[in-house]
Amino acid sequence: MAQNVKGRYEGRAALELLDDGRIARLLEAYAYIDCFDQRWDVPALAQVDGASIPRALWTLIGGPFEGRYRNASIIHDWFCDRRTRPWQRVHRMFYEAMLTSGVSATKARILYTGVFLGGPRWSQTVIDNNQLADGISGANKAELSRAMAEKLDLTAPQTSALLDLLATTAVKETKTTGEFTIPGIGKLVKAEQKARMGRNPQTGEAIKIKSKTAVKFRVSRAALDSVNTPAKPIGKAARPASYRYEFKPDDLDTIQAIAKQTDDLAEIERLVDQQLKGRKRR
C-alpha cells in the first residue's frame, strides 16, 4: 500500500487554536478521497483535538497538529468523533492518508498500530444511530468496493470492476433471457404489463395506461430467513457501544516492535489483538 497510494486531499487544512490551547477549529471545509474513491468530508468550523490518537504516542511522534501527519489527523479525529463508519475503516483511512501526506511507511505503521491498540472503537449500533441522525443511506459502491477488497485481497479498481460487471451482466441477462439470479440474495425477473385502464390520481379522470416492460426483484428464501432470524439477546457482559482498551506503560515498546516486524496491516491487527486478550475496556 505504501508504494501505491492514490488518495488525495481537497481543500486547505486551515486551523485556528481556541482559547484553551487544546482544541482547534477548521476554518474551511476539508476532505480526503481514499484509493476507493470514498470521500471523507470534514465541514468548516469542525472542532478537533487529536484525542483519537492515544496521548502516549505523542512522545514518539509529537502532538496531533504537528508534522506531516497533521492533515490525516484532522480527518481521523472528525470521523472518530462522528462514528458513522466502522472504526476499522476509519483507522485504515488514517494510515492511507498519512502515506498520502508523505509520512514515512515506518512512522505510519507505528501510528496505525498505536490507534488500533489504544484508539477509539464503536459498535454497529452506534454507526446505525449516527447515520440515522445524519440522514446517511446505506453502503454505496465505494464502501462495497472497500469491503470486497479487504475480504478478497484485491485492489480497489478490481473490486469496482467486479461490481460494474455484476450490474452489466444482470441487466443484459434480464433483458435477453427474462431473469437473472444472484445466489443467496434473489432474482431479477422481467414482466410484461399489458395495457389497461386507470385513473388520473389528481383529477379522477379515466385514462389508458400503455403496456410496458417492468422488472421485479424476488428475494430468495435464504435471504428472507436470514433477515427474519431473531437477534441473540444481549447479556450483561455485552461489549459497550463505544470503548477503548487501557494503555499500559510498556505498550510503546510493543507498538514499535509490531510496526517494525511487518508491513502487512492485517498481520499488525492480528498481533495487536493478541496483546489485547484479557485487557480491560474503558
Query: Is pLDDT at 258 greater than 60 in this prediction?
Result: yes
pLDDT attached to residue 240: 55
- pTM equals 0.68
DSSP state of 122: E
Does the pLDDT of residue 265 top 70, yes or no? yes
Cβ proximity of 80 and 120 under 8 Å: yes
**pLDDT class of 220 with cuts at 50, 70, 90:** confident
Residue 232 carries which DSSP code?
Answer: P
Q: What is the overall mean pLDDT for the chain?
A: 84
The total number of residues written for the chain in this structure: 282
Residue among 111, 146, 148, 124 nearest 252 (CA): 111
Q: Name the pLDDT band for 191 (thresholds 50, 70, 90).
A: confident
HSE (CB half, 13 Å, CA atoms) of 184? 1
